[in-house]
Amino acid sequence: MYSPTQALSEYVAEAKFEDIPGNVVKHAKDCILDSVGCTIGGAALDHGKMMIDFYSELGGPPEATILATGEKLPCMHTAYVNSYLSNLLDFDDYAIGGHLGATIIPPGLALAEKIRASGKDFITAVVIAYEALSRIAESIASSPERRAKVWGLATHQIFGSAIVACKLLKFNSEQTANTLGLSGASAPVPFLRKFGQELQDRPIGGLKNNYGWASMGGILSASLTQRGLSGNKHIFDGEKGFWIMASSDQRDFEKMTLNLGRDYLITRAGFKNYASCYFTHTSLDAIALIMVKHKVNVNEISSIRVKTFGELVSSFGVTAPANILDAQFSLPHLIALELLGKSPSKGLSEDNLADPKVRTLAEKVSIELSPEAEEGFLKRMVYPSSVSIEQTDGSAYSETVDIPKGAPERKLTEEEVRAKFMRLSAPLVGAGASEAFVHNVEELEKRKDVSIVIPMRR
């Protein structure tokens, strides 16, 4: 009988660096750079400082580095902190099934540092984890109707940290399957409909997507496999498999291994152009286009109308976000920032939360459902948004964007990815350390020990 768990485990165990095309290696290094930049940048927020302080107080063996501070903590704790920080700004990559890098790169880097893995082994583990996790997510994706009721990302993303660990530890297929089983038993519940996005539940919960727990859980599962603890080696299989445990109402087992080793889905991971929920990006792109094409007097704007898909209409209309996390899911606030020259592409600032100019402009934003946009979102997985700006003199300007800048179809340039990294990391670790890390990542496959590429403090 066909076992998707076994087939996936065999691929993870057997794949080699030499199998990976050069363009895929290059994209993986861009993913690593972007993730580390977001991780360091996340430490600037109060939520990030709180999490660092908490785990610092716990202490323990100095096995792996908190990227923003240079402190060394136990590997699992470092995986938790760095993964949490990587998604805190909501600036990290978005791929099939979520912010995959958040539960692959930080835990992978922590474990690679602990065991002194080579750069080549680290790249291989990252690529293979993206490939396997993308297919897991795609194969168990819920229907739109089910997703409207219950949804989670960390739930399946625990397998990203598990797989990157399996690959770094050079597990065979049986050990890999065992680790997947232990990880499935440790997965967070699909809680995103109750993490604070719904208007009645605001503000956004401080754990965000709970990626820290998922990353720590995957490393823990691999560590327990090393010690001989048994797990279910068929976690994805059958009518009672992980798909239904994760609240999905459908599954397609063939997608779990479709074109493995031939079609590299990591190349579909896009890098965000704005520090906000991906759903908001097409609206911000539309605003940016209007500002480039027309002479808009911000002081004379009478109304801003957004016609878009249902998720934005139901959950993103808050005009006075409580904190930075809340602001990442406030389309009126984000639009006001873009119009006032404080683009979310530069990151979000606590200072802007109480700015009366931002608040006044945000209150002029209305968000309406467009049936056409909803169909595009549900059936074509695009994010259509039409934005119209009307001024007091009667002039009006509008733009429509379906696919955000940074998506695979509209990739950020290599220069833009590096500039974003420097913008996020240099204020915390210094320009010299940031530039050195960029250089080290460019030559990562030549490094015998991943620990030497980690940014050193100024």
Mean pLDDT, residues 224-250: 97
254 and 307 in a common domain: no
352 and 254 in a common domain: no
434 and 285 in a common domain: no
pLDDT digits (tens, 9 = 90+) for 266-316: 999 999 999 999 999 999 999 999 999 998 999 999 999 999 999 999 999
- The confidence band for 96, taking pLDDT boundaries of 50, 70 and 90, is confident
Residue 354 structural domain: 278-405
219 in a domain, yes or no?
Answer: yes
- The confidence band for 457, taking pLDDT boundaries of 50, 70 and 90, is low
136 and 230 in a common domain: yes
State the SS3 of 336-356: HHHHCCCCHHHCCCHHHHHCH
65 and 143 in a common domain: yes
Beta-carbon count within 10 A of 368 CB: 12
For residue 458, pLDDT over 70 is answered with no
- pLDDT above 90 as % of the chain: 94
pLDDT digits (tens, 9 = 90+) for 374-398: 999 988 889 999 999 999 999 999 9
- pLDDT above 70 as % of the chain: 99
pLDDT digits (tens, 9 = 90+) for 184-196: 999 999 999 999 9
Note whether 122 and 109 are within 8 A (CB). yes
In terms of Cβ atoms closer than 10 Å to its own Cβ (0-12, 13-18, 19+), residue 439 is exposed
The whole-number pLDDT of residue 170 equals 98
The whole-number pLDDT of residue 455 equals 78
pLDDT digits (tens, 9 = 90+) for 121-174: 999 999 999 999 999 999 999 999 999 999 999 999 999 999 999 999 999 999
363 and 261 in a common domain: no
How do beta strands 301-308 and 365-369 pair? parallel
CATH of the domain at 401: 3.30.1330.120
Alpha carbon distance 182, 159 (integer Å): 10
Mean pLDDT, residues 419-442: 95
What does the mean pLDDT of the chain come to? 96
- The confidence band for 453, taking pLDDT boundaries of 50, 70 and 90, is confident
- At 391, which helix (H) or strand (E)? strand 385-391
458 in a domain, yes or no?
Answer: no
For residue 456, pLDDT over 90 is answered with no
**How many structural domains comprise the chain?**
2
